[in-house]
Amino acid sequence: MFDNDRDAVKVSVIIPTYNRSKYVRKAVDGVIGQTYKNIEILVIDDGSTDDTKEVLAPLVGKGVIKYIYQKNRGPSAARNTGLSHATGDCIAFCDADDYYNADMLKALLDVLYMSDDIGMVFCDYNTFSDTGVLDVNRNAARYEDMQPVTFQRLFSTINFIMPSTVLAKRIVFEKCGVFDESLKGPEDYDLWLRILKHYEIAGTQKALVNIRVHEGNISKHVDRMVTDEAAVIEKYRHSVPSVQFKKRLSKVFMLNADRCVCQKHYAKGLVMMLKGMSVYPFMFNDILIIAIRLIIGESGSDRLRKQIGSLKWLKKIYFYIYRN
């Protein structure tokens, strides 16, 4: 917990945005409405061609936010621009189509300062779309509440730490670096792994952030995503046992196979699955999940997961299968 100077800790919240004028004000309002008040808000406009600037102009005029416009270079570059302009002791991120619950920063600051060894913290989240809430406490079963996440744990599974759920001490970025702008997709995962080499990362299972899910076609980007995700895993080939490395590399292909199947790109999904099996053939849990998706569809498998989640003992079995 904090000492008596808790309110002296300044938090810089970085909101990268690109053509999100429809949503960005809600993201900003979620930060303004925090119960913790020692905050600066930086909106980094990554080359928007919509009316983002006009939507935010009243807040800029009142000095409520700092608005920085740059040529379009991608979300990692926008976050890095925010880092270079931030003046806070701690850094948080909020994508322009997401928003915080009112107690998000206060709750995460309490976790962040539990120990000097903790450099970064994160929370669970809810997902929603224009039609309503999709999922509650999306990731809580993947990690222990208020306990450090080990490098081995995060490396051996898919990334479960979303940028909008993160709060980190400024010194972490000074020591570990910033987002790799050459990566498309796993740039946050890459940074979290680098941080874990120097600091502890801890999570709370409270869902304090709401993340918007957009309909989209990932199949046209899947080859680039696989290449970049594999490049991140390759960095640690000699840091983990050979079998663990092969399993994790295989999981890159399996995860993207699952993504393709969810969007009904079955041929692409099959190719990805076969590539994964060629790296490590014993990915039975992943094959099972893909098979279930094929049989009952994405919506059916999501309903099944939610039903399982309502029964604690089944939930433990499900997440054992999904995590390993």
CA nearest to 156, candidates 233, 60, 101: 233
Q: Is 225 within the bounds of a domain?
A: yes
Q: Encode 90-127: b = buried (16+ Cβ within 10 Å), e = exposed.
A: bbbbbbbbbbbbeebbebbbbbbbeeeebbbbbbbbbb
Q: Are 219 and 265 in contact (CB under 8 A)?
A: yes
Please name the residues in contact with 162: beta carbons below 8 A apart, sequence gap of 6 or more. 122, 125, 188, 209, 211
Q: Is 269 within the bounds of a domain?
A: yes
What is the spatial distance between Cα 268 and Cα 69, in angstroms, rounded to a whole number?
A: 38
The residue segments making up the domain with residue 88 are 6-212
Domain match, 261 and 145 both? no
What is the spatial distance between Cα 84 and Cα 78, in angstroms, rounded to a whole number?
A: 10
Domain match, 308 and 181 both? no
Residue at a domain's end among 164, 195, 212: 212
Domain match, 144 and 64 both? yes
Q: Is 199 within the bounds of a domain?
A: yes
- Using the Cα atoms of residue 224, residue 229, residue 231 and residue 237 in order, give the sign of their dihedral: negative
Please name the residues in contact with 89: beta carbons below 8 A apart, sequence gap of 6 or more. 9, 10, 11, 169, 170
Residue at a domain's end among 162, 196, 212: 212
Q: Is 252 within the bounds of a domain?
A: yes
Domain match, 58 and 191 both? yes
Which pLDDT score, from 0 to 100, does residue 313 have? 47
Q: Are 50 and 21 in contact (CB under 8 A)?
A: yes
Domain match, 165 and 25 both? yes
Domain match, 224 and 207 both? no
For 178-205, the DSSP string reads ---TT-SSTHHHHHHHHHHTTSEEEEEE
Q: Is 130 within the bounds of a domain?
A: yes
Domain match, 201 and 248 both? no
Which backbone phi and psi does 93 adopt, to 5 degrees?
A: -125, 145
Between CA 66 and CA 73, with CA 67 as vertex, the angle to 5 degrees is: 130
Q: Is 166 within the bounds of a domain?
A: yes
Q: How many domains does the chain have?
A: 2
Residue at a domain's end among 212, 237, 252: 212
Domain match, 16 and 111 both? yes
Which pLDDT score, from 0 to 100, does residue 289 have? 84
Strand bridging mode 166-169 / 118-129: antiparallel
Residue type, 13: V
Domain match, 79 and 110 both? yes
Which pLDDT score, from 0 to 100, does residue 292 have? 83
What is the three-class DSSP state of 324? coil
Burial class (CB in 10 A: 0-12, 13-18, 19+), 149: buried
CATH number of the domain residue 207 falls in: 3.90.550.10
Prediction pTM value = 0.88
Q: Are 15 and 27 in contact (CB under 8 A)?
A: yes
Domain match, 200 and 306 both? no
Domain match, 185 and 226 both? no
For 248-308, the DSSP string reads HHHHHHHHHHHHHHHTT-HHHHHHHHHHHHHH-S--HHHHHHHHHHHHHHHHHHHHHHHHH
Strands of the chain (E only): list them. Answer: 11-17, 39-45, 66-69, 90-93, 99-100, 118-129, 132-135, 147-149, 166-169, 200-212
**Which residue ranges in the chain fall short of pLDDT 50?**
1-2, 313-314, 318, 321-322
Domain match, 224 and 313 both? yes
Which pLDDT score, from 0 to 100, does residue 296 have? 73
Q: Is 1 within the bounds of a domain?
A: no
